[in-house]
Amino acid sequence: MLWVDRHRPETTAGIVGQEKCVSEALQFLNEWKKGKALLISGPPGIGKTLFAETYTTENNLQLVQLNASDKRTKKEIELQLSDASRQTTLFHKGKIILIDEVDGISGRSDRGAGSAILKIIKGSSFPIILIANDPYSSKLSGLKRSCKHVKFQKIRSASISKKLREIIEKENLKIKDEIIDSIAGFSNGDMRSAITDFQTASNLGEDLESLGFRERLKDIYDILPTIFFSQNIKAARKSIYDSDKDPDEVFQWIETNIPKVFKTAEDIACAYELLSKADIFRSRVHKQQNWRFKGLMSDLMVGVSVGTNPQRGFIPYQYPEKIAQLGRTRFKRALRDSFYKKMVKKMHSSPKDIRENIPYLKMIIKGRKREFLEEFDIGPEELSVVLNY
């Protein structure tokens, strides 16, 4: 039997890491008024559907469930839910109508599905719970006005570790603490996948490397927790390779956020010392154009958390100032590059020569702007950026 089923909580109070969100959702359902629905959003594996299931069980309610991504045409939704949302039940105190993956509605084939759900919300005699991964999807704009929105959060790795230790005790197992913390840290706030990985690790004799590590990494905010908290160089290295982020960009994020993750002077010094060695190979990549050094750079920079004690809990990662500055000056740099390109074509020179001779170009252009613009086909904005460079 899968552990996610065996160790599934029986009540809403047993849902880990969502105490405030569960309280909000319970208040809405206990005070429910006709014509309003509850929209629960958040990433996978954090207890959204589990909340609806445990709520119906502990209140002796019938759960009527529809997955909007499977049966989402107007006709199918009305066929499934129109009667169910109004008819009473003989064997339960009432009902909960659950529409899962409601943000999966899209395309011409789904035309009218949103209005059908809205119509059911307005006429239902029972509370309706909508589940969505992305609450800001434009597909939900019409529905959200009739919903109370409760956003479930990613579960803290410390809470996941605690749950995994409870499972260890119930399963009468002995697993090292570093294995537990690695799985919790790499889970990216997904309790369901953490328990699944944990069961797999147990069956494999704690061989974390054999798990294959889930392909769930998308952006820098997914990569950083793996680097700082997994305590596993292979997993951290793979998180970079599986993303679309250049190691140079990840390097800057690590450099900026080390003081936020580590609190003791010893840990900060240790992390920066390793990062400084990575920076040596980083500079050799640029100076020597030897791309083999990039692999060594990556191995060193993802090891910053090994042997240290990063603080647990929510980390407000800071955006690197250098990257932010590049973003603010992107438009100006594009105009400047366009200027160089046109000058190179006309003067049969290199971009480097143009850049080095900008002061002399300014002197030549001064007082002859109109002629210069016409001769070189330079735009006023391009010229303005270069003159103020």
**SS3 sequence, 277-297?**
HHHHHHHHHHHHCCCCHHHHH
At 70 the pLDDT is: 56
Q: Which two tokens stand for residue 66?
A: 């529809």
**Residue intervals in the chain for CATH 1.10.8:** 154-216
At 39 the pLDDT is: 92
SS3 195: helix
Amino acid at 39: L
Give 3-151's CATH code, choosing from 3.10.180.10, 1.10.10.60, 3.30.450.20, 3.40.50.300. 3.40.50.300
For the chain (389 residues), the mean pLDDT of every run of 10, in chain order, is 84 92 93 90 89 92 74 71 76 86 63 79 89 78 85 89 90 80 78 82 56 51 79 75 76 89 88 89 80 81 77 76 67 73 77 76 73 71 68
**What backbone phi and psi angles, to 5 degrees, belong to 363?**
-65, -40
Q: Which two tokens stand for residue 328?
A: 């603010």
Q: What is each CA distance from 307 to 232, 256, 262, in whole angstroms?
A: 11, 20, 12
Residues 6+ apart with CB under 8 A from 296: 278, 281
**Residue intervals in the chain for CATH 3.40.50.300:** 3-151
Burial class (CB in 10 A: 0-12, 13-18, 19+), 206: middle
At 330 the pLDDT is: 63
Topology of domain 154-216, CATH: Helicase, Ruva Protein; domain 3 (1.10.8)
At 51 the pLDDT is: 93
pTM of the entire predicted model? 0.55
At 236 the pLDDT is: 78
Q: What is each CA distance from 208 to 170, 186, 264, 273, 306, in whole angstroms?
A: 21, 11, 29, 27, 16
At 1 the pLDDT is: 65
At 67 the pLDDT is: 66
Q: What DSSP character marks residue 317?
A: P
At 15 the pLDDT is: 93
